[in-house]
Structure 1
């Protein structure tokens, strides 16, 4: 059950009638289609007019149906005991699946036992890591190797590098490759992204983060790298004592709410230096290398924007904050005050870096670097679950990506990214009955993706009025994290 989502009254055998079907794979529109679903699967997609006796009918005339959306960078299960509000916001925004970017042994065990929370309308957990690689479990190369082995043994889908050095990252990557488990995440400040790509890293999150990737596109690369010092971390117990892991995660959580609040003057200098010495040819060469090695990018532009513009009213006064749990907002506001105390030169460097991030995203997209949409929702200050994916679409469009490419980053590309190509992400027979009905054409303008007339999750249908009622219930009892 869910505190916010009422069970759907339209399920079982359902037909979305006389709709235009959008195929993200090739951008083709097929008008006048009936999409029949039953048992949580699409059973047929045919020209409208066939008998529909015994089926619930959803009127699709003049509307467009697309596969429901995937968020490929989330932390929803950081609070597995209370995911209801987050999941409800996801459903209301057409998000039906996600990649969990921070797990643990308990989460992996719960998944294998089928005991993860499943409130009404819950999205699918498509992939999860185990514990982040940090100084707690990967302070040495040997420790990093052991952590990868343990996660592989425990059934993690991938390993996420959180806070590592070049030595520990590469040791973990080599062991992950040996075991056949993917490794992705944050590149350490002292690692060349080209070395990571050639080593087989699966994904790079947040365009780095920091200046690491941008150094490789600088005409003063050596100087930028010399300025890109590894950030000092708070002291974390090296000895395994009861409660040490919880203490470490508490310290880390304080940092990840907005890592930009810890930006040093040296890091700010590195941003300015990298952005002022940008070399388009080097950026394109880097993109070619990423294509060659299938190095995926999950830019999370909404995340980097809320970090670097934490003092902006569009985030601090976002009316959608009304859906967030009060304790979450207190953490966000405390972080925003800390950001406001940064020196002007540091905040300006962070603000100015935004244009470089958009430019790099466009360079990668133009070169065909594989890319998925993600938000870093759940714990990141200013990032509203569900809604944030539409914010991400807006920023991808600001970077210059066209509507079809944006649609692919949240449908067909996640399927390819997860090794499930052909299993979800299209509106064809046999695919999961996870659909979004739109009032406008998403191939004309990406903003159509937020003009949602209804959402189907696992064969159950919620209309626009029902989705609005969900949002009203959340606002009345804010509980998203």
Structure 2
């Protein structure tokens, strides 16, 4: 299923004792990189495909896209034959939870593991090898700020990181430390002030906030130019529309609408579409998260056979496989409920797409059982199964995600002057979305990582993670 994991079985048997973590050298770009005879999928608003092009990258920028027959004469350039390949912007996962040591201790309710269990480079390698060059961390912690500094400084090879700290009630769903508490409107306003002081551009609202506190958060955020995203609180209370307030810009799960009623109500989808359309609220899909949860609930033993989970640090792997909360809830009633959510999600995202509401690709990677990096390709295929066309899926993972994050002047399209965050594929993703898995190379800030180098990064990670 996963091309770059095909060698896993032999590796896990033959690997020597685990090594100390050894992150790759800081990302650097050669003076010039020339990709010749490649088909460019620019993902610009104009759309279209540019066959037989030569793309020139200098430093971290695209400086030329020309017809291949024009010829490019650059001495000492690193030349790549792109014949039979497709060049596309790097992918975005707009809903992730990046692991760190304190997060694991809070989730496990234990003072262990010790610091260093979640090696920063190891957290990011699964994203890089899958062409995921932008992530949106929706439970940002101070550690996340440090991770972003390490990536942007070039000391760690990873995706760009957008961040949103989580705000919930004084009886939060997730532990304090992962989430902040706001039990009153005044506390909600203070939480936004704190986020602004810490330099965050987004805040995430969570499921147990009351309407008054939610309203105060959105109002304070508007005043401070902080953008509000997240869940629709107070599920099942019949007040869904009240939360669609100006400034609430993004719902981060399709399942949020499924859970607004006691059981998912497909007949309510048109009203949900209208709420989002009138409020200019976009949607992150996360279809694959619910599909994985259903798979786990049906067969908890399937976790042990999941090759993609081997990319997790050992303590995270143990939590996902041996203490998985979805496996613990496995029952006929729970299975039926999750199945009803899965059956609801497809028609919902299709209706949103048909209404012109942006569908951004996200996976909830980091929750137990959803593998970082690899799950985004699962999400692409789930969206195709739901009825979205391949071009729309790719737009949601490139240009539309960049536009939402406000970085579309830097990345998200293949155009002159844009950052060279790119994926080179050896098959056409517009004809078959599964071809996004067929990665020949990843280009991060102009640094060319061949298939061989990507496999070496993954090889090193798996060798150290094996049990």
State the TM-score bracket (shorter-chain normalisation).
Answer: 0.7 to 0.9
Greater CA drift, 172-181 or 338-347: 338-347
Q: Is the 8 A contact 2:40 2:53 kept in 1?
A: yes
1:102 to 116, 121, 139: 139
Q: Is the 8 A contact 1:83 1:117 kept in 2?
A: no
For 1:113 and 1:92, locate their aligned partners in 2 and report how far apart those are by CA, in whole Å.
Answer: 20
Match for residue 239 of structure 2?
A: 192
1:55 to 77, 90, 95: 77
1:450 aligns with 2:421: no
Match for residue 189 of structure 2?
A: 145
Q: Please give the per-residue CA displacement for 1:144-178, whole angstroms capped at 9, x wherever unaligned.
A: 11111111122111111124222322221122122
Q: Within 5 Å, which residues of 2 pair with 1:375-386?
A: 375-378=363-366, 380-386=367-373
Match for residue 245 of structure 1?
A: none
For 2:144 and 2:168, locate their aligned partners in 1 and report how far apart those are by CA, in whole Å.
Answer: 16
Q: Within 5 Å, which residues of 2 pair with 1:141-180?
A: 141-163=185-207, 164-180=209-225
What runs of 5+ residues in structure 2 fail to find an aligned partner?
A: 1-19, 103-115, 171-179
Match for residue 329 of structure 1?
A: 317
Q: Is the 8 A contact 2:185 2:216 kept in 1?
A: yes
Question: What is the TM-score with the length of structure 1 in the denominator?
Answer: 0.80
Give 3-state SS (helix, strand or coil) of 1:429's partner. Answer: coil
| Deviation for aligned residue 1:197 | 2.3
Q: Within 5 Å, which residues of 2 pair with 1:11-410?
A: 11-25=30-44, 26-48=46-68, 49-76=71-98, 78-79=100-101, 82-105=119-142, 107-108=144-145, 110=146, 118-125=154-161, 127-135=162-170, 137-163=181-207, 164-188=209-233, 189=235, 190=237, 192-209=239-256, 211-212=258-259, 215=260, 224=261, 270-271=262-263, 274-275=264-265, 278-279=266-267, 282-311=268-297, 312=299, 315-336=303-324, 339-378=327-366, 380-410=367-397
For 1:118 and 1:84, locate their aligned partners in 2 and report how far apart those are by CA, in whole Å.
Answer: 11
| Deviation for aligned residue 1:119 | 4.2
Compared CA separation, residues 19 and 431, structure 1 to 2 (3 A): same
Q: Is the 8 A contact 2:211 2:243 kept in 1?
A: no
Compared CA separation, residues 196 and 339, structure 1 to 2 (3 A): same
Compared CA separation, residues 122 and 133, structure 1 to 2 (3 A): same
Q: Is the 8 A contact 1:176 1:183 kept in 2?
A: yes
Q: Is the 8 A contact 2:229 2:249 kept in 1?
A: yes
| Deviation for aligned residue 1:90 | 1.0
Q: Is the 8 A contact 1:436 1:452 kept in 2?
A: yes
Compared CA separation, residues 70 and 177, structure 1 to 2 (3 A): same
Q: Is the 8 A contact 1:145 1:171 kept in 2?
A: yes
For 1:332 and 1:375, locate their aligned partners in 2 and report how far apart those are by CA, in whole Å.
Answer: 16
Compared CA separation, residues 10 and 357, structure 1 to 2 (3 A): same
Aligned length: 416
Q: Is the 8 A contact 2:39 2:51 kept in 1?
A: yes
1:3 to 14, 22, 28: 22
- After superposition, the CA RMSD in angstroms is 2.7
For 1:8 and 1:107, locate their aligned partners in 2 and report how far apart those are by CA, in whole Å.
Answer: 20
Give 3-state SS (helix, strand or coil) of 2:218's partner. Answer: helix
For 1:131 and 1:348, locate their aligned partners in 2 and report how far apart those are by CA, in whole Å.
Answer: 29
| Deviation for aligned residue 1:421 | 2.8
| Deviation for aligned residue 1:3 | 2.2
